[in-house]
Amino acid sequence: LPPTPRGARGSALTMTTTRLAPGTVAPDFTLPDQDGTPVTLSALRGQKVILYFYPAAMTPGCTTQACDFRDSLPSLQASGYVVLGVSKDEVAKLAKLRDADHLTFPLLSDVDTTVHQAYGAWGEKVNYGKTYTGTIRSTFVIDEAGTITMALYNVKATGHVAMLRRKLGLDA
């Protein structure tokens, strides 16, 4: 048998096959941001939310994606969107990413991958022919009532924000 993937503090990680679809109520959660301040999704009702899951802070692809969101943030906010990034990184590492790249939106820490799993953003991946369990780069657009209007799985880091803006009908 293959070894059980281990998460933070040695806890067993489970793989998910759940995929959320448009029309589904977004699973609620509370996670700490890069400063340790709790952020609760349901507290953002009345606002549109772009929730994106990325594998690891301080890596080239994830940094590119975060910087693309940062650079598009003014127009996304003008269109009524709040952006939240989620990874399984510790709070301190998220603060380092925010400071290094001057990010101006919350980065949330989901160390035990509970929220990743609820959104279907944790599971089996193949990279260079090797299969492993990890974060499935995913983005969800959630409306003001808390309903998912767009669920995008296995997105690419580069060009993702431009593609998302097109899908949202915003200027690229």
Q: Which of the residues are catalytic?
A: 62
CA-to-CA separations, 71 to 42, 64, 100, in angstroms, rounded: 26, 10, 15
Spatial distance between the Cα atoms of 76 and 166, rounded to a whole number of angstroms: 12
Residue 100 CA neighbour count, 13 Å, CB half:
14
Calpha distance 18→11 (Å, rounded): 21
d(Cα 147, Cα 49) in Å, to the nearest integer?
10
3-state secondary structure of 164: helix
Distance of CA 130 to CAs 32, 54, 136, 144, Å?
Answer: 32, 19, 15, 40
